[in-house]
Amino acid sequence: MSKKIIVAIDGYSSCGKSTMAKAIAKSLGYSYIDTGAMYRAATLHMLNNQIPAANIEAVKSELQHLEIRFKFNPEKQVSETYLNGKNVESEIRTMRVAEQVSNYATIKEIRVAMVSQQQQMGKKKAVVLDGRDIGTVVFPEAELKIFMTASNAIRAQRRFAELKAKGEEITLQEVENNLAERDRIDSTREESPLKQAKDAKVLDNSHLNQTEQLEIALNWANEAINRQ
Ligand code: DC
């Protein structure tokens, strides 16, 4: 039997990390952990309880009422996010959450709680995680680290098409502004900012289709597995 590894995928918002992570997980028969979904679910919980990100004490104490789980939906063949027992998979992808998530993701107490849950979920390996701090903080010893990038224009176009398809009333300019703001907050925050791990392999997918990207990533994954 081949050895199991951890695949850590980091990068800016809307680079196609989750599509890639899911495809790698499927090919290798690994689990996929969407860490962004966890920060989104935590944000949704705080918004629903009218707790602003600025009120750190209230955020801290509310964390004990927060339970985030992933459950596999056999009909759709995808894993979905549950917040305190409720399926929030669609709700966490709305602009209401997107506009606030980076602010809550800067809060140390939220990060500590999410990171420890992620480490627990990945400790037996055979997992693919995507996020901002996977290769640097969550699993710095991951056998394969991929840092994904794509041009700003292409990222905005992709996210715009996604949101439009879901029926959100939004302009391309609004999506561009949201991405730029999230990139700024994610990469300049004090707590585990988004940065490329020294040993990460960079994958710029501006001009690659999904099949081409997956082929590159799977080659890297198989090399890493064979090194074990
Ligand atoms: O990947 P995403 O767009 O679903 O992530 C949502 C937000 O969560 C993103 O703006 C930054 C934050 N995030 C984070 O800080 N650390 C992670 N590991 C994953 C996401």
pTM for this one?
0.94
Residue 20 domain-assigned? yes
- Distance between Cα 114 and ligand 1 center (Å): 11
Q: What is the pLDDT of residue 143?
A: 98
Locate the ligand 1 atom nearest the alpha carbon of residue 106 and give its number: 15
Beta strands in the chain (DSSP E): 6-11, 31-34, 68-73, 78-83, 86-87, 127-131, 144-149, 201-204
Asked whether the predicted pLDDT for residue 164 surpasses 80, the reply is yes
* Count of structural domains within the chain: 1
- 93-109 pLDDT per residue, tens: 999 999 999 999 999 99
Residue whose C-alpha is closest to residue 15's, from 210, 206, 221: 206
Is 111 part of any domain? yes
Among protein residues, the one whose CA lies closest to atom 2 of ligand 1 = 36
> Which residue's alpha carbon is at the smallest distance from atom 8 of ligand 1?
36
pLDDT given at position 1: 65
Evaluate whether residue 1 is within a structural domain.
Answer: no
- 75 exposed, middle or buried (CB, 10 Å; 0-12, 13-18, 19+)? exposed
Residue 77: pLDDT band (50, 70, 90) is: confident
In a domain, 227, yes or no: no
Domain that holds residue 59: 6-222
Per residue in 24-62, pLDDT (tens digit) is: 999 999 999 999 999 999 999 999 999 999 999 999 999
Distances (CA, A) of 34 to 42, 153, 169: 13, 24, 26
**Residue 99 within any structural domain of the chain:** yes
CATH number for 190: 3.40.50.300
Predicted confidence (pLDDT) per residue in 96-155, tens digit: 999 999 999 999 999 999 999 999 999 999 999 999 999 999 999 999 999 999 999 999
pLDDT at 2 over 90: no
Kindly report the length of the chain.
228
> Which residue puts its alpha carbon closest to atom 11 of ligand 1?
102
Test site for ligand 1: of 18, 96, 132, most ligand atoms within 8 A of the Cβ: 132
- Choosing from 6, 33, 39 the residue with most ligand 1 atoms within 8 A of its CB, the one to mutate for a pocket test is 39
